[in-house]
């Protein structure tokens, strides 16, 4: 085979005035604008483009389009680029992928000598012994992994996504697809026409027939004048539920690849047909190409595919290829007609010779063998819509069976006709698509309760009155009387498939899995039907009996970058955050929140709170504003304890359990007014509890009058803690008596703080110190914080972070839901069983909590290691003596700067929960230490004198 | 057991390099991996589901308990369900002592499998990293590591520097939105060629006389004496199964299905704590090897490994709503790609080649349901969520013991159906929500 | 992407909603036996076909509603019932 550039063709897409220079395996080459990488290389006489996966056989152009399995190359840091499709750009660094040391001399080609041993699935039958050698075998096998190279420094370049809601999306821009788009648009539908190729026109693009070119010009003109949105070099990659479509746009000016998500009201599938290779000995040699490849090379890029050709033709496309080849001066050595029983048995010849051996054994000298053996219907989009296409032996391809009524097929997928017939069917399909889209649009709009009124009744579902396309007879040509490659990506031959079927892997799915046929980068576009044919042959059945595999999305591969799009990971910070950042804060991530962990020395922060006063930003604390006369009933239903008699201005701690009795959340809720409450939740539980509350209200107690508003971020929350907190607050508060008797522990008051009205002030805290928890309208958070800092400067006020708070809450023995409890921790296990009021009529989880009272449950307890300097890890297991029997675990642990010793919370089995029990803790180091369970959860101030102060 | 000898086949050739070479030289073909049999009227036990669990159960019934008059029924082809759709990850670094003991046995059986079944299942113990991106998840990793160590399982928490050493392709910097803070490292974890496990069990069971019946769909389970209609339900016993190829009488029916577990159990009048959700997976085009370990991120809902063929295989968490359709969704691949690029920004130009999904039977406590049911002779091996493949060998071994002896083996006591009556669930929920 | 027919917001992408699972009545907590209560907690019909189930319009109106969907084909059957997780009549 010797390809070369010829004179200007009327149909060509190259701009011969625009020369582009690029490199191929380090050497300089040039091509023209409009060339694909492959056409430029072919024009320059390149013959070998890749090496096959297993046998490292040399491979050349096969189909010269996107689906060509032999044209996978590396372009810069971009692996597995389809050289048959990717347009040439100036300066491209193109390399072959699967060859070493070079494309023309590949050491692993020696494998082809071992072909008879390396049959499909051979690796299942060997390398089992010795077992210890398998990792080594595996590393060697892995060197055969095909494909390009990943450069891990590749940046995640710019990708964006687009959402669109067209009435009609037409997938495929051949004559039928274009007509469908035009007709739908004329009928008033908004239409998106998606062309996989770089320009619209489908097979008309590379037809030299005058009538085809005239039609193409007419269609393009009509498109330009229409409202149809045309996307080129774009593919509908998937059809998902309710016509949700993924469309990848590869030629977006900014995004490397752009994912378009379209909710189409109707989808027209018009992908055309894909030419199927023929299986015979040597069918994968460079110089054996499909008729479509020949026609594209000649008509699109002005490349003569060879000097002397044998053409095996079973259809009009093959016949047209003969004419195209003759026009550029390729000598036609022979035309073998597959319609009249002619066949090709094998190819022979060294290097550039591709002699064709025909049925009678005669060899015809040639350097090019063009094959037109039939078509594969790429029914992928129909499969994704649930259709199971059926095989028609008379036409030798699959046809749609019964796709959903909002997915319509046209063009070659639907049948055969002359150009006019295809156009008429396309137009009829477009009108039908538009009519059905109108009905869908009406239905969607009328069912949106708050939308504007929709005029008229819903249009009737338009019946399918299209005149069906015919089906041209075509011989069933899958394999000649010799064996050849079925899957060139995977190096799987028909012989492999037959052997697999005889071994018992005789359904398509089993054979596919066993041999890996159709699993490669061509996604089975070229291979599936030949695979089915080989299995059918081995089983002595028909293709219809064997059936086909299910085509899965995507229709064409798309990059992870396009799918990922831009990173949209929200970050939440409080309004006080700028102050933290200006004050040496160390940040900790808590879900989406960025929170102050500490400001340099958490132990000092603890001591300052214990001795003076500290401020912590607790804005992420979940807050729900509850209003209505039935709030007390709601609280009684959701919390395990009682709420009916909570007075105005009072605050109460509550624990929530799920219906299975497992601890769900906890927090305090206060009564701000007659019918007005504020519930606080854990920070991580804020969203979940809100939904849970809504669920109970809406589904179990819809008659209750309660209005729920989440106000977590409506307020900035500051806890002022420490013995001097009252003194600090007195300097900034107006309108509230801070005296211990007037404003005692577990009460709430509304106040003006630092001039900000409408603040709520709670006498509660997690630290065990005298505390005031302020909820300040969020916009004033920073101001109030700064005012507190200023007012407290002579009291020694300082900030403290989450770490300090965690130490202090542990000193006080407050458990944290989700850390000291887990997914099985029942309410009574927290040690707060006395909160659970089983005499209430109903509350979430009541039956389980009642039964739990009789069960022996693990308990949350406070534990102190006997050696006060050893802090067990939060995960250290509590074990029975020297055994490995697990009796519990440490759930929280810290060194207490207040007590100067290590302190813990943990879960232990019930019989270890009594104060004074000695337990063994297994440290991560493997060391076992003694520890003692203490009487109550609080390591510090168990009587709570400080916080009541 | 009548007629057993007659149905035993001639010992087939062993797989080995020498046999490959010999057959290659002589141009000989290999015999069928398993027979096509006529369906008998009666069996000592019927296993429903020809996936790894059903086949392993049948294999161990024959191998460990001498029960060879056993039929495995599958409505499609062997391995057509979850067995061929999973991402083939094997590990034993679970959170609960019962989970660790159970999966440790499974890893052990996988290690022996290639030799025992005489088929290369390509168990690649390349190491398994479960990444932690938050304090809370790091704490859970420590918890798992401690429980693992006590159960004799090799597992420890490592920091970002060591992670980078084991798996250079991961971004261990503080650039990501949720930087990697540490990982549970589990060196024996890895991947297996899942189809080979299916075929290996089928071939070995076939050699011992077990019959595999493909395209044989169970349409009903025949019972007597139960408290429901047609003698089904609690207190009754199994007498046989009805299939699209006729009725079979048998005293033991083992439900080893996934995705259809509820439907099959309903045929015996047994209600299960199961909701069926699709689990999706995807594979990229191949590139040269660059990802040496299995990587899992629970917080980012993704797990990924690179096959020996060079493809990246991904999975995520189950689809959000119950569903028996396996068509896959775009939002799955979008989310997956986003999370993968958070872990490895360098792979943005890799292309997704194919996506698929399988059905997962989710239980409330992320643990399976194994053993006896209120219907005598009807056993279940179901509720395998997203972690069934890795448990196949041990499940088969234990279920076979239960069926053959009539007693629940200790290793699966914690997974009994009765735990839902007693409110004694298994504590894997925290660790296993995306635990692959 | 499934379109879920919210009674207030109209058809919405399923990612805008939270799935609430099979609709089932809550037994009387004061009289339920352990078996009844745990059947409510854990046991599910899980049919491959029509199922009455709950959805929460999390990114829209934040209403819970109940609707029938075919779990094999993902078709919805009208109309949704607001605020009811018991199944049957609202």
Residue B114 resides in a domain: no
B352 contacts chain A (CB < 8 A) = yes
Over 60: is that where the pLDDT of B231 sits? yes
> Is B273 in contact with C42 (Cβ distance < 8 A)?
yes
Neighbours of chain B (3+ CB pairs under 8 A): A, C
Beta bridge partners of B346: none
Beta bridge partners of A853: none
B329 contacts chain C (CB < 8 A) = yes
> Is C63 in contact with A659 (Cβ distance < 8 A)?
no
Instruction: Count other Cβ atoms within 10 Å, centred on residue A596.
Output: 27
Over 50: is that where the pLDDT of B3 sits? no
CA-to-CA dists, residue B15 to A510, A837, B130, angstroms: 19, 68, 36
Look at residue B10 in the predicted model and tell me its pLDDT: 56
Instruction: Count other Cβ atoms within 10 Å, centred on residue A714.
Output: 13
Please compute, for residue A320, the number of CA atoms within 13 A of its CA located in the half-sphere on the CB side.
20
The three-state secondary structure class of A66 is coil
Look at residue B429 in the predicted model and tell me its pLDDT: 64
- The size of the B-C interface in CB pairs under 8 A is 66
Residue ranges making up the domain that contains B331: 125-188+275-362
Strands B237-243 and B246-249: antiparallel
**Which residues from chain B sit within 8 angstroms of residue C41, using beta carbons?**
364, 420
Minimal CA separation from C3 to chain B, in Å: 13
Residue of A nearest to C42 (CA): A660
Residue B309 resides in a domain: yes
Kindly state the average pLDDT of the residues B273-277.
Answer: 96
CATH fold of A573-620+715-800 reads Gyrase A; domain 2 (3.30.1360)
Structure tokens at B129: 């990293």
Residue of C nearest to B423 (CA): C38
Rounded distance between C-alpha atoms, residue B424 and residue A857, angstroms: 11
Residues 6+ apart with CB under 8 A from A173: A181, A193, A194, A195, A196, A197, A200, A201, A202, A230, A232, A270
Interface test with C, best of B323, B331, B362 (most C CBs within 10 A): B323
> Is B287 in contact with A141 (Cβ distance < 8 A)?
no
Any idea what the Cα angle at residue A407 is, between residues A405 and A412, rounded to 5°? 120
Minimal CA separation from C90 to chain B, in Å: 23
CATH 3.30.2270.10 applies to domain C3-82: yes
CATH 1.10.260 applies to domain A478-562: no
Strands in A93-96's sheet, in edge-to-edge order, are A27-33, A15-24, A93-96, A72-75, A78-82
Helices (H), A504-652: 508-515, 528-539, 543-546, 560-564, 577-581, 602-611, 631-638
Say if residues B130 and B26 touch (Cβ distance below 8 Å).
no
Rounded distance between C-alpha atoms, residue B376 and residue B269, angstroms: 12
Instruction: Count other Cβ atoms within 10 Å, centred on residue A678.
Output: 22
pLDDT, one tens digit per residue, over A467-526 is 999 999 999 999 999 999 999 988 999 999 999 999 999 889 999 999 999 998 888 999
Rounded distance between C-alpha atoms, residue B76 and residue B244, angstroms: 12
**Which residues from chain B sit within 8 angstroms of residue A126, using beta carbons?**
15-17, 20, 120
Look at residue A456 in the predicted model and tell me its pLDDT: 84
Residues 6+ apart with CB under 8 A from A360: none
Residues 6+ apart with CB under 8 A from B165: none
Interface test with A, best of C2, C4, C10, C12 (most A CBs within 10 A): C10
pTM here?
0.94
CATH 3.30.70.1400 applies to domain A622-711: yes
**Which residues from chain B sit within 8 angstroms of residue C34, using beta carbons?**
421-423
Residues 261-300 of B with CB under 8 A from C: 262-263, 271-276
Q: Is the dihedral of CA A573, A578, A583, A584 positive or negative?
A: positive
Give A816 or B13, the one with higher predicted confidence: A816
C54 contacts chain A (CB < 8 A) = yes
Interface test with C, best of A243, A260, A404, A447 (most C CBs within 10 A): A447
pLDDT, one tens digit per residue, over C20-36 is 999 888 999 999 999 99
Structure tokens at B190: 């890895």
Residues 57-96 of B with CB under 8 A from A: 77-80, 84
Nearest to B330 among A125, A244, A889 (CB): A244
Interface test with B, best of C19, C33, C38, C44 (most B CBs within 10 A): C44
Interface test with C, best of B322, B359, B416 (most C CBs within 10 A): B322
CATH 3.30.70.270 applies to domain A161-273+380-446: no
Look at residue A346 in the predicted model and tell me its pLDDT: 94
Any idea what the Cα angle at residue B86 is, between residues B83 and B91, rounded to 5°? 100
Look at residue B430 in the predicted model and tell me its pLDDT: 52
Structure tokens at A927: 């060391």
Rounded to the nearest 5 percent, the helix, strand and coil shares of chain C are 15, 40, 50
CA-to-CA dists, residue A327 to A220, A304, A365, A709, A720, angstroms: 26, 10, 20, 77, 90
Look at residue A749 in the predicted model and tell me its pLDDT: 96
DSSP state of A457: S
Q: How confident is the model at residue C87 (pLDDT cuts 50, 70, 90)?
A: very low
Nearest to B323 among C22, C38, C71 (CB): C71
> Is B274 in contact with C46 (Cβ distance < 8 A)?
yes
**Which residues from chain A sit within 8 angstroms of residue B25, using beta carbons?**
116
Rounded distance between C-alpha atoms, residue A428 and residue A464, angstroms: 9
Rounded distance between C-alpha atoms, residue A932 and residue A863, angstroms: 6
Residue of C nearest to A245 (CA): C1
Minimal CA separation from A698 to chain C, in Å: 5
Say if residues A647 and A599 touch (Cβ distance below 8 Å).
no
Q: Where are the domains of chain A?
A: 4-106+277-372, 161-273+380-446, 478-562, 573-620+715-800, 622-711, 854-948
Look at residue A461 in the predicted model and tell me its pLDDT: 93
Q: How confident is the model at residue C81 (pLDDT cuts 50, 70, 90)?
A: low
Question: Which residues of chain C approach chain B closer than 8 Å at the C-beta?
Answer: 1-2, 14-15, 18-19, 21-22, 34-35, 38-39, 41-48, 51, 53, 71-74
> Is B421 in contact with C45 (Cβ distance < 8 A)?
no
Q: Is the dihedral of CA B164, B167, B171, B172 positive or negative?
A: negative
**Which residues from chain A sit within 8 angstroms of residue B327, using beta carbons?**
240-241, 384, 386
**Which residues from chain B sit within 8 angstroms of residue A560, using beta carbons?**
284, 337, 340-341, 347-352
Look at residue B431 in the predicted model and tell me its pLDDT: 47
Beta bridge partners of A920: A879, A930
Nearest to A449 among C7, C14, C73 (CB): C7
Nearest to A411 by CA among A189, A186, A188, A196: A196
Q: How confident is the model at residue C83 (pLDDT cuts 50, 70, 90)?
A: low
Residues 390-429 of B with CB under 8 A from C: 420-423
Say if residues B278 and B359 touch (Cβ distance below 8 Å).
yes
**Which residues from chain A sit within 8 angstroms of residue C58, using beta carbons?**
691
**What is the CATH architecture assignment of A4-106+277-372?**
Roll (3.10)
Say if residues A518 and A524 touch (Cβ distance below 8 Å).
yes
Q: How confident is the model at residue B432 (pLDDT cuts 50, 70, 90)?
A: very low
CA-to-CA dists, residue A406 to A266, A409, A412, A435, C72, angstroms: 5, 10, 19, 11, 19
> Is A449 in contact with C8 (Cβ distance < 8 A)?
yes
Residues 6+ apart with CB under 8 A from B204: B59, B63, B116, B117, B118
Rounded distance between C-alpha atoms, residue A876 and residue A548, angstroms: 55
> Is B262 in contact with C2 (Cβ distance < 8 A)?
no
The three-state secondary structure class of B37 is coil
Over 60: is that where the pLDDT of B267 sits? yes
The answer to whether the bond into A554 is cis (omega within 30° of 0) is: yes
Which burial class, exposed, middle or buried, applies to A534 when counting CB atoms under 10 A from its CB (0-12, 13-18, 19+)?
buried
**Which residues from chain C sit within 8 angstroms of residue A451, using beta carbons?**
10
Task: Give percent above pLDDT 90 in chain B.
Answer: 85
Over 60: is that where the pLDDT of B9 sits? no
CA-to-CA dists, residue B350 to A560, A888, B191, C27, angstroms: 6, 46, 21, 52
Nearest to A695 among C2, C8, C64 (CB): C64
Over 70: is that where the pLDDT of C89 sits? no
Rounded distance between C-alpha atoms, residue A816 and residue A621, angstroms: 13
What CATH number is given to the structural domain containing B348?
A: 3.30.9.10
Q: List chain A residues with pLDDT less than 50.
A: none
Say if residues A728 and A797 touch (Cβ distance below 8 Å).
yes
Look at residue A449 in the predicted model and tell me its pLDDT: 63
Structure tokens at B106: 């499974």
The answer to whether the bond into A779 is cis (omega within 30° of 0) is: no
Look at domain A854-948 and name its CATH class: mainly beta
pLDDT, one tens digit per residue, over B288-328 is 999 999 999 988 889 999 998 899 999 988 999 999 988 88
Beta bridge partners of A355: A348
CA-to-CA dists, residue A650 to A61, A646, B57, angstroms: 82, 6, 62
Residues 6+ apart with CB under 8 A from A806: A892, A894
Look at residue B13 in the predicted model and tell me its pLDDT: 79
Residue B317 resides in a domain: yes
Q: What is the DSSP string of B287-311?
A: BS----SEEEETTTTEEEEE-TTS-
Rounded distance between C-alpha atoms, residue A99 and residue A750, angstroms: 77
Q: At what angle do helices A175-186 and A210-225 cross, to 10 degrees?
A: 30
Beta bridge partners of A922: A877, A928
Residue B91 resides in a domain: no
Nearest to A560 among B34, B135, B337 (CB): B337
Q: Which residues of A750-769 are buried (b: 16+ CB within 10 A; e: fewer)?
A: ebebbebeebbbbbbbbbbb
Task: Give percent above pLDDT 70 in chain B.
Answer: 96
**Which residues from chain B sit within 8 angstroms of residue C15, using beta carbons?**
331
The three-state secondary structure class of A762 is strand
pLDDT, one tens digit per residue, over B378-406 is 999 999 999 999 999 999 999 999 999 99
Same fold, A622-711 and A854-948: no
> Is A660 in contact with C41 (Cβ distance < 8 A)?
yes
Over 80: is that where the pLDDT of B116 sits? yes
Please compute, for residue B428, the number of CA atoms within 13 A of its CA located in the half-sphere on the CB side.
28
């Amino acid at each position: 085979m010797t390809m070369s550039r010829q004179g200007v063709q009327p149909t060509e897409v190259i701009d011969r005035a625009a020369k582009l220079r690029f490199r191929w395996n380090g050497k300089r080459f040039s091509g023209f604008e409009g060339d694909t990488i492959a056409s430029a290389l072919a024009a320059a006489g390149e013959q070998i483009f890749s090496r096959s996966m297993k046998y490292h056989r040399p491979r050349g152009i096969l189909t010269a389009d996107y689906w060509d399995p032999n044209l996978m190359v590396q372009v810069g840091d971009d692996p597995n680029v389809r050289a048959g499709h990717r347009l040439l750009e100036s300066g491209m660094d193109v390399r072959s992928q699967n060859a070493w040391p070079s494309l023309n001399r590949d050491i692993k080609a020696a494998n082809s000598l071992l072909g008879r041993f390396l049959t499909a699935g051979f690796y299942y039958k060997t390398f089992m012994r010795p077992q210890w050698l398998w990792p080594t075998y595996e590393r060697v096998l892995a060197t055969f992994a095909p494909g390009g190279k990943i450069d891990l420094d590749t940046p995640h370049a710019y990708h964006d996504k687009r959402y669109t809601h067209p009435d009609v999306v037409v997938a495929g821009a051949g004559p039928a697809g274009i007509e469908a788009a035009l007709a739908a648009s004329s009928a008033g539908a908004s239409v998106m026409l998606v062309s996989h190729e770089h320009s619209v026109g489908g097979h008309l693009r590379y037809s030299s027939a005058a009538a085809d070119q005239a039609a193409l010009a007419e269609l393009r003109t009509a498109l330009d004048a229409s409202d149809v949105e045309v996307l080129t070099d774009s593919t509908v990659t998937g059809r998902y539920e309710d016509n949700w479509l993924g469309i990848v746009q590869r030629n977006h000016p900014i995004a490397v690849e752009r994912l378009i998500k379209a909710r189409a009201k109707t989808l027209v599938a018009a992908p055309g047909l894909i030419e199927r290779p023929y299986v015979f000995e040597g069918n994968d040699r460079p110089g054996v190409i499909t008729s479509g490849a020949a026609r594209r090379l000649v008509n699109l890029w002005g490349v003569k595919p060879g000097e002397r050709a044998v053409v095996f033709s079973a259809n009009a496309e093959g016949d047209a290829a003969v004419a195209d080849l003759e026009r550029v001066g390729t000598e036609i050595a022979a035309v073998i007609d597959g319609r009249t029983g002619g066949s090709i048995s094998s190819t022979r010849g060294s290097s550039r010779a591709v002699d064709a051996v025909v049925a009678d054994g005669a060899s015809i000298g040639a350097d090019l063998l063009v094959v037109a053996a039939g078509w594969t219907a790429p029914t992928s989009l129909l499969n994704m819509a649930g259709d199971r296409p059926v095989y028609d032996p008379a036409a030798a391809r699959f046809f749609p069976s019964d796709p959903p009524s909002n997915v319509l097929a046209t063009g070659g997928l639907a049948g055969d006709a002359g150009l006019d017939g295809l156009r008429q069917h396309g137009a009829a399909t477009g009108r039908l698509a538009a009519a059905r889209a109108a009905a869908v649009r009406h239905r969607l709009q009328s069912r949106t309760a708050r939308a504007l009124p929709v005029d008229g009744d819903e249009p009737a579902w338009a019946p399918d009155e299209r005149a069906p396309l015919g089906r041209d007879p075509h011989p069933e040509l899958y394999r000649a009387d010799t064996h050849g490659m079925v899957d060139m990506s995977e190096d799987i031959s028909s012989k492999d498939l037959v052997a697999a079927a005889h071994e018992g892997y005789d359904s398509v799915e089993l054979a596919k899995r066993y041999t890996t046929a159709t699993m490669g980068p061509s996604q089975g576009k070229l291979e599936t039907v030949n695979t089915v044919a080989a299995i059918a042959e081995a089983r002595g059945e028909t293709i219809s009996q064997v059936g086909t595999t299910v085509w899965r999305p995507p229709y064409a591969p798309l990059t992870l970058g396009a799918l990922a799009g831009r990173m949209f990971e929200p970050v939440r910070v409080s309004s006080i955050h700028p102050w933290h950042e200006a004050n040496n804060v160390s940040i900790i991530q808590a879900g989406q929140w960025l929170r102050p962990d500490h400001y340099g020395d958490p132990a000092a922060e603890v001591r300052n709170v214990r001795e003076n006063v500290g401020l912590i930003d607790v804005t992420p604390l979940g807050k729900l504003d509850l209003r209505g006369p039935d709030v007390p009933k709601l609280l009684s239903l959701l919390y395990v304890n009682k709420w009916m008699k909570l007075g105005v201005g009072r605050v109460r701690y509550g624990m929530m359990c799920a219906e299975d009795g497992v601890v769900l959340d906890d927090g305090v809720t206060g009564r701000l007014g007659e019918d007005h409450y504020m519930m606080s939740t854990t920070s991580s539980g804020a969203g979940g509890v809100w939904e849970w509350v809504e669920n109970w209200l809406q589904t179990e107690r819809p008659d209750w009058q309660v209005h729920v508003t989440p106000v977590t971020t409506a307020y900035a929350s500051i806890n002022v803690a420490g013995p001097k907190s009252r003194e600090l607050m007195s300097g900034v508060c107006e309108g509230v008596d801070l005296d211990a008797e007037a404003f005692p522990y577990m009460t709430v008051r509304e106040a003006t703080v630092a001039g900000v009205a409408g603040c709520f002030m709670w006498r509660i805290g997690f630290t065990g110190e005298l505390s005031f928890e302020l909820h300040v309208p969020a916009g004033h958070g920073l101001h109030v914080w700064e005012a507190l800092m200023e007012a407290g400067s002579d009291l020694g006020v300082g900030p403290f972070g989450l770490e300090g708070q965690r130490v202090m809450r542990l000193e006080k023995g407050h458990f944290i839901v989700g850390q000291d409890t887990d997914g099985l921790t029942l309410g009574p296990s927290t040690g707060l069983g006395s909160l659970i009021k089983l005499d209430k009529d109903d509350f979430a989880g009541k039956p389980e909590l009642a039964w739990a009272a009789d069960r022996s449950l693990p308990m949350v307890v406070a534990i102190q290691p006997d050696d006060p300097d050893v802090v067990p890890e939060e995960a250290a297991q509590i074990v029975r003596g020297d055994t490995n029997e697990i009796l519990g675990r440490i759930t929280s642990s810290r060194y207490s700067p207040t007590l100067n010793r290590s302190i813990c919370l943990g879960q232990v089995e019930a019989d270890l929960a009594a104060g004074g029990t000695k337990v063994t803790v297994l440290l991560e180091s493997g060391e076992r230490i003694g520890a003692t369970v203490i009487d109550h959860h609080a390591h510090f101030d168990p009587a709570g004198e400080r916080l009541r102060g | 057991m009548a007629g057993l000898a007659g149905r035993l086949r001639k010992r087939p050739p062993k797989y080995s390099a020498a046999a490959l070479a010999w057959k290659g030289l002589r141009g000989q073909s290999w015999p069928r991996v398993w027979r096509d049999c006529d369906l008998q009227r009666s069996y000592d036990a019927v296993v429903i589901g020809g996936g790894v669990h059903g086949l392993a159960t049948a294999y161990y019934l024959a191998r460990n308990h001498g029960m060879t008059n056993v039929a495995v029924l599958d409505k499609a082809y062997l391995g057509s369900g979850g067995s061929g759709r999973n991402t083939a990850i094997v590990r034993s670094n679970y959170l609960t002592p019962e989970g660790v003991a159970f999966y440790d046995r499974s890893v052990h059986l996988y290690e022996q499998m290639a030799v025992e079944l005489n088929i290369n299942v390509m168990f690649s113990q390349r190491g398994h990293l479960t990444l932690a991106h938050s304090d809370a998840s790091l704490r859970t990793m420590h918890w798992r590591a401690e429980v693992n160590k006590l159960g004799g399982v090799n597992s420890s928490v490592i920091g970002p520097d060591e992670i980078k050493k084991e798996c250079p392709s991961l971004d261990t910097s503080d650039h990501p939105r949720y930087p990697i803070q540490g990982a549970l490292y589990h060196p024996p974890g890895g991947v297996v060629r899942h189809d080979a496990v299916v075929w290996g069990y089928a071939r070995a069971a076939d050699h011992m006389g077990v019959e595999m019946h493909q395209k044989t769909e169970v349409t009903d389970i025949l019972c007597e004496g139960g408290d429901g209609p047609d003698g089904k339900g609690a207190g009754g016993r199994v007498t046989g199964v009805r299939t699209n190829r006729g009725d079979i009488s048998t005293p033991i029916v083992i439900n080893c299905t996934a995705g259809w577990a509820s439907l099959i159990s309903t045929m015996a009048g047994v209600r299960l704590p199961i909701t069926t959700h699709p689990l999706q997976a995807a594979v990229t085009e191949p590139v040269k090897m660059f990802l040496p370990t299995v990587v899992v991120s629970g917080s980012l809902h993704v797990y990924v490994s690179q096959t020996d063929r060079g493809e990246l295989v991904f999975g995520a968490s189950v689809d959000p709503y119950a569903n028996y359709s396996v068509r896959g969704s775009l939002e799955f691949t979008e989310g997956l790609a986003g999370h993968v690029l958070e872990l490895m920004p360098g792979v943005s130009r890799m292309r997704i080649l194919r996506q698929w999904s399988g059905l997962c039977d989710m239980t409330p406590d992320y643990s399976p349901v194994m053993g006896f049911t209120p219907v005598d002779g009807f056993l279940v091996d179901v509720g395998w969520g997203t972690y069934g493949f890795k448990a196949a060998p041990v499940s088969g071994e234990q279920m076979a013991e239960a069926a053959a002896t009539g007693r629940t083996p200790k290793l699966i006591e914690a997974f009994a159906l009765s735990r839902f009556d007693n409110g004694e669930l298994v504590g894997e929920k925290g660790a296993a929500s995306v635990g692959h | 992407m499934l379109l879920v027919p919210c009674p207030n917001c109209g058809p919405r992408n399923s990612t805008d909603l939270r799935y609430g699972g099979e609709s089932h009545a809550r037994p009387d907590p004061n009289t339920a036996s352990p078996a009844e209560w745990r059947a409510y907690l854990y046991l599910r019909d899980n049919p491959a076909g029509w199922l009455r189930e709950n959805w929460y319009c999390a990114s829209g109106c934040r209403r819970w509603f109940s609707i029938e969907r075919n779990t094999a084909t993902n078709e919805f059957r009208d109309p949704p019932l607001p605020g009811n997780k018991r199944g049957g009549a609202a």
